Amino acid sequence: MSSPPLSRKANSALVRLRYAKSLELNEGLEELLEGNEGLESAAEIVERKIEAGQYILTQYLARLIVGVRSETLFQKVRQQLLGDNAALLILYRGRCPDAQIEEKLAETLYRLREDDGNPQRREIAEVMEEVGSDAVLPVLQAIIFDLGETLHAKQVFGEALEGISDGSEDFRKKVQRKLPGLEAASRAKFLQAVAAAISAIKARSAAQAI
Q: What are the residue boundaries of the structural domains of the chain, listed by start? A: 1-97, 106-210
Alpha-carbon gap, residue 33 to 35, rounded angstroms: 5
- Rounded to an integer, the average pLDDT of 178-192 is 71
- Rounded to an integer, the average pLDDT of 22-27 is 82
Q: What is the pLDDT of residue 187?
A: 82
Q: Any idea of the CA torsion for 121, 122, 126, 131, to the nearest 10 degrees?
A: 10
pLDDT band for 34, please (50, 70, 90 cuts): very high
- Rounded to an integer, the average pLDDT of 69-89 is 95
Q: What is the pLDDT of residue 28?
A: 87
Q: What are phi and psi of 70, to 5 degrees?
A: -90, 110
First to last CA, the chain: 37
Share of the chain above pLDDT 70, in %: 81
More confident site: 80 or 165: 80
More confident site: 159 or 9: 9
The mean of the pLDDT values for the chain is: 84
pLDDT band for 20, please (50, 70, 90 cuts): confident
Q: Quick one: angle between helices 8-19 and 22-35, nearest 10?
A: 150
Q: What is the pLDDT of residue 208?
A: 85
CA 196, chain centre distance (Å): 17
